[in-house]
Chain A
Amino acid sequence: MTVNPTTAGASEPQFPLPSILTNPASAPPLLIAQGAEGRLYKTTYLVPELACAVKYRPPKPYRHPLLDARLTKARLSSEAKVLDRCARDGVPVPALYAIDAAAGWMALEWIEGAPVRQGINEWLGARPETDTTPDEQVDQTPLVDLMRRIGTVMGALHRTGVVHGDLTTSNMMLRPWKDGHTGGGNGTVLDGDVVLIDFGLATQSQSDEDRAVDLYVLERAFASTHPRAEAHFEYVLEAYGKTFKKAPSVLVKLADVRMRGRKRSMLG
């Protein structure tokens, strides 16, 4: 699922919300994002102190009800399975609190912090474009650090046999370090643990091809979202290459995928 940020709570839902979102014991749901097929709400789970994200896939009126129910259920359960697998193997993803696949919702751990996209943009924006200091004279250590952390997390993800399917810097959060965090803290907007979110298009796969495409999607998204930091993407791949045994062969495959691009020769 692709979600685009919207003004929180800007639009009233046109459909009845599932009971989890109308339960008087939890905080009123706040619409965080609305994508093509899902909505993300912030509310609380079990106790008022525990913030959670509820992902809801409302029924699609255009789809045959039977087909709609089948798809919603299959997609939510597969997303839950992927999250479970990641959590078990220590890949940083939101914890799964609860799921009702038939009703179309799942409740996830609320990840504090901002998307990586925002962090990088703030980091780049702190230096105006008129600043003519050559890049090599600016201390880029925090950015390089972050790139390496991203590469490491991607490696961990692929090692467990999961490909994300929609990797962008909007689908990664920077969770602020707790007090007492040791090592690497630079006190910049780029601090924090990288947490992967939005596994709506994720699949389980161990093929070099699928993994390479996953990296390629991120590379393309990174280049279009942060053209000024494009040169630093190599550190993602460098760190990725050290994470698991098959990572170097994925990087070789990535070169093929780059050559091919998305271009398919079209048969009339």
Chain B
Amino acid sequence: MPDSQGRRIALGCEGSANKLGIGIIAHDASGAAHVLSNVRHTFVSPPGTGFLPKDTAHHHRSFFVRVAKQALRDAGVSPSALDCICFTRGPGMGGPLTSVAVGARTLSLLWGKPLVGVNHCVGHIEMGRAITGASNPVVLYVSGGNTQVIAYAEQRYRIFGETLDIAVGNCLDRFARTLEISNDPAPGYNIEQLAKQGGRVLLDLPYAVKGMDCSFSGILGRADELAAVMRSGGKGPDGEDFTPADLCFTLQETIFAMLVEITERAMAHVGSNQVLIVGGVGCNERLQDMMGKMAAERGGSVYATDERFCIDNGIMIAHAGLLAYETGFETALEESTCTQRFRTDEVFVKWRN
């Protein structure tokens, strides 16, 4: 029920990958979203390694109570003020998803609040729209697990293009492992900083765009090969020396050009000139800059958010969950399962017209 000020309040729990996030959001009587708290704790693995499901799940279980308490304190609300508990149903890694779902169920039973299962991708899109004010953009969703070009039509977020193999963020993360770059705060962030020192040479990597889809595994394979050549003191194809910075620069220039190209194709197809970038890779300023140049040429603009909302967080789950809850959607306890596979276009978007 709305409170005395006509507000509805939701708590959201996210843990589909290595970030555990819990956030509290309020929707006022006009429907505007207000972030009351947004707490996140990240599982960081040592350089040269990735985060394994088992360790990540353990991290989420260990920190769930601390992060939830912090979120309530920051927001200054009591559990009784909440309307619902939202959690990520998927897609994501099974272990971490389950850990957080168990946490959400516990809160739901403890406080007697209904559960709302949320699609992680829809969470990103709705949060991006709410923060930037982009009304009906083409969405580029780029993260460690997902790469999709999405546009809204008739009650669903439709996927126009996507990766045919690994996600763009996975390509960056794994290349960071090859170079043994730090995973703190995020491998992609450190690649971005290193790439800023490159730019003298652009090495030759495959470029794999197929219509509105793209592929990254072959590019990663070639980048790894070049890294091995570099370490053994070898030269580039034109006899030039190259450094890890040059490799990072080349990798970014190539894969971001692919992403901008498929986004532009989708924009031409649906006749839109707004583009919204969401997901962890969306924080990358070079990607934002390239997208901005493309959008400007089409007479439009790019909308992007900063790391608070781009990187996985609980507040986006709370926001998307509350939107669904307001249309009467709830997830019964016995149906509050998680799934590693959950396509963006499976969600019926009742709250938009």
Contact = CB atoms under 8 A, between A and B. Distances in A.
17 contacts: A35-B268, A36-B261, A36-B264, A60-B294, A61-B293, A64-B253, A67-B202, A67-B207, A67-B254, A264-B162, A264-B164, A265-B341, A266-B146, A267-B91, A268-B17, A268-B90, A268-B97
Contacts of B146: 266, 268
A36 B162 CA distance: 17
Contact of A4 (B91, B211, B253, B268): B268
Nearest to B148: A266
Given A63-B290, A71-B207, A268-B90, 10 more contacts: A36-B265, A37-B264, A62-B290, A63-B257, A63-B260, A64-B257, A264-B164, A266-B146, A267-B145, A268-B93
Nearest to A1: B265
Interface string A144-174: 0000000000000000000001100000000
A268 B293 contact: no
Interface string B249-269: 000011001001100110111
Interface of A: 2, 4, 14, 35-37, 60-64, 66-67, 71, 165-166, 201, 263-268
B182 interface: no
A268 B162 contact: no
B25 interface: no
Contacts of B145: 267-268
Residue from A4, A35, A67, A201 with most neighbouring chain B CB atoms (10 Å)? A67
B335 interface: no
B41 interface: no
Given A266-B343, A268-B340, A64 B264 contact: no
Contacts of A165: 211
B265 A67 contact: no
A66 B343 CA distance: 36
Classify chain B: how many residues form its interface, as a range: 35 or more
A165 B213 CA distance: 12
Contacts of B12: none
Contacts of B291: 62
A166 B211 contact: yes
Given A37-B261, A264-B162, A268-B90, A62 B294 contact: yes
A25 to B, nearest CB: 30
B43 to A, nearest CB: 16
B127 to A, nearest CB: 18
The 8 A-B residue pairs with the shortest CB-CB distance in the complex, in nearest-first order: A268-B91, A36-B268, A62-B293, A268-B92, A62-B290, A36-B265, A64-B253, A36-B264
B207 A2 contact: no
A64 B289 CA distance: 12
B76 to A, nearest CB: 34
Which one of A35, A62, A66, A267 has the highest number of Cβ atoms from chain B below 10 Å of its Cβ?
Answer: A62
Given A36-B267, A166-B211, A266 B342 contact: yes
Contacts of B91: 266-268
Contacts of A266: 91, 146, 341-344
B265 A2 contact: yes
Q: Which of B16, B294, B344 has the most CB of A within 10 A?
A: B294
B297 interface: yes
B340 to A, nearest CB: 5
Contacts of B297: 14, 61
A166 B264 CA distance: 16
Interface string B303-332: 000000000000000000000000000000
B265 A62 contact: no
Contacts of B162: 264
A101 B91 CA distance: 43
B33 to A, nearest CB: 26
B161 to A, nearest CB: 10
Pick from A4, A263, A265, A267 the residue with the most CB of B within 10 Å: A267
A173 to B, nearest CB: 21
Contacts of B269: 2, 4, 36
Given A67-B253, A165-B211, A266-B91, A2 B268 contact: yes
Contacts of B202: 64, 66-67
Contacts of A268: 16-17, 90-93, 97, 120, 145-146, 340-341
A25 B331 CA distance: 71
Nearest to A262: B159
A267 B17 CA distance: 12
Nearest to A34: B268
Given A67-B202, A268-B91, A268-B341, A62 B268 contact: no
A35 to B, nearest CB: 6
Interface in B263-284: 264-265, 267-269, 271
A265 B269 CA distance: 24
Contacts of A67: 202, 207, 253-254, 257
Contacts of B344: 266
Contacts of B207: 67, 71
Contacts of A35: 268
Contacts of B257: 60, 62-64, 67
